[in-house]
A and B are shown apart, each in its own frame.
Chain A
């Protein structure tokens, strides 16, 4: 187990190094001149060479690219992550200020997805092709297709029209005022949770159906165990592995989707900070936030793999 763990961690670290390098290449090397990326082509053309040099030096962009890359890694190691081009605060402060809200939305949405998806999947698998199963499958197909940000917009509009209600659009942390905080995060969490829940329901249904047709389940039934007991105790644990995996894969969907959903709800989370930085072309902020999203994605998938190994001895010793 320890060997597996170390190997997995080393792989993840190498991948993340590659991730940071590719972010750097995408944002610094591809646009050619970073000032073009910051100011756009028209803005760049209007500057005098002296202006250009001064700004480049100010932003620390006049050093050779490899030096800049190493300095970035140093910034990451120091925990400061560099400064925004347009504001005084460091990216680390930005993340500390806005990150908790986004993290809450993410965690809450995963919890909702399991609370909704798993029972629905189990109910579906109990009586395949029955009416409840049909309804459950239709709904899951529907929720997979509906873009979360649109659903979010509709919810915001409906609340506004019918109840004149608008969720607070300032940052309120859970330790400051839990009730206000819940009003901010619950909408995005539900929207993201339902979409993931649809996948989880689908996955758990098909995995359960597969397991239920196996010999050991037939044996359990032949022993005279109640059907509910057979499904919950014998079949379910074996069907859960792929569902856990898909939950990890879905996290990529949550991280990306939350950016758009935060925008729809007007939640001042990390996703909106990223969008604002992309629109302002604040490269330092963008590169660090993109890296952060990738780090979270990779880390969670490592955790998923570890839980997989923990649950399934064939992987641990294989």
Chain B
């Protein structure tokens, strides 16, 4: 890729753009050939993102519209995945559920991992007392099981979309913090960072220009690995009745609806869960592939060691 950039340095921006696109495409093909599963995961992930974005075009019916003449109907030609206890179309609700799920998961992971990573860079670079206290705080955050911490936080700040995003984001902070801190710790000892310090650059400048770029690969790995976890937490919160409040269609809420029925309709219990599983599977496979490609050091073993295997 570097060669390509050099070779087209003098060409017009359009041609250069085209050639970078082509290089990117070639890179993607190579990635897919080496990680078939990850590529499939990526494609499925893209498809689900597409479904979420195009929900109003794809959904056959309004996901909130009740139809009391067609309640608890099993799948048939009129509603492919059946209807729920007030006659809402399950297929439409699953499609709109993708919207809520992905929106919450992406926002929470990006927010949590970014805050955690910036914090981790500061800890790893500055060391000293700041690092010591920060590590204690992260340890405290990691002493709670994810789902339980998310429940407590969303209870305190109210159960809305933002509360759920915020609650899940907080549970992601220490993971970013620990992994990125270890990267920053090793980067700060590199000669080029030392050179920066020697030439009088401020800590802020070194962190922003020299340490941060080194953290991009592990950041991407972390973010993709945690997407699946975030989706499951969101669904579990909805399932327990403490997530994004109804009538917003979310996969977790739909599962909760199905369980309250005396004789639970199987289609209402099956399809939303299938949607969760396929989505989580897709992002997990993609995450594994990205990790293998970008940073073999971040094997699951390493990540989990950092995540809390060794405390104190």
Contact = CB atoms under 8 A, between A and B. Distances in A.
Nearest to B288: A141
A54 interface: no
A142 B280 CA distance: 10
Interface in A144-182: 144-147, 149-150, 153-154, 157, 160-161
Interface string B225-240: 0001000100110011
Contact of B144 (A12, A141, A154, A297): A297
Given A145-B228, A161-B266, A264-B259, A19 B144 contact: yes
Given A150-B273, A150-B276, A301-B311, A141 B281 contact: yes
Contact of A27 (B156, B239, B280): B156
Contacts of B258: 153
Contacts of B152: 23, 26-27, 278, 286, 290
A14 B158 CA distance: 30
B312 interface: yes
Interface in B238-283: 239-242, 255, 258-259, 263-264, 266, 269-270, 273, 276-277, 280-281
Nearest to A253: B145
Interface in A1-57: 7-8, 11-12, 14-16, 18-19, 22-23, 26-27, 30-31, 37, 41
Contacts, number: 168
Interface stretch (B51-59, B122-130, B299-307): B299-307
A26 B312 contact: no
A61 to B, nearest CB: 15
Given A11-B312, A264-B259, A153 B269 contact: yes
A149 B143 contact: no
Contacts of B90: none
A249 B304 contact: yes
Interface string B127-142: 0000000001101111
B308 interface: yes
Given A203-B301, A305-B312, A153 B255 contact: yes
A263 B240 contact: yes
B183 to A, nearest CB: 20
B157 interface: yes
Interface residues of A, number: 62
Interface in A281-318: 281, 286, 290, 293-294, 297-298, 301, 304-305
B193 interface: no
A304 B266 CA distance: 41
A231 interface: no
Interface of A is mostly: helix
Given A23-B152, A27-B155, A207-B301, A15 B140 contact: yes
B235 A147 contact: yes
Interface stretch (A83-91, A185-193, A254-262): A254-262
Contacts of A147: 232, 235-236, 273, 276-277, 280
A275 interface: yes
B273 A141 contact: no
Contacts of A68: none
A246 interface: yes
Interface string A212-242: 0000000000000000000000000000001
B145 A256 contact: yes
A246 B311 CA distance: 13
B69 interface: no
Contact of B240 (A26, A41, A275, A305): A275
A62 interface: no
**Residue of B142, B143, B284 with most chain A CB atoms under a 10 A cut-off:** B143
B65 interface: no
A297 B145 contact: yes
B148 A255 contact: yes
22 contacts: A15-B139, A18-B136, A18-B137, A18-B139, A18-B140, A22-B141, A31-B156, A31-B157, A37-B155, A150-B255, A202-B300, A242-B305, A242-B309, A246-B301, A249-B304, A253-B146, A259-B148, A263-B259, A275-B242, A278-B242, A298-B143, A305-B311
- Which 3 residue pairs are nearest across A and B when measured between Cβ atoms? A256-B147, A256-B145, A150-B273
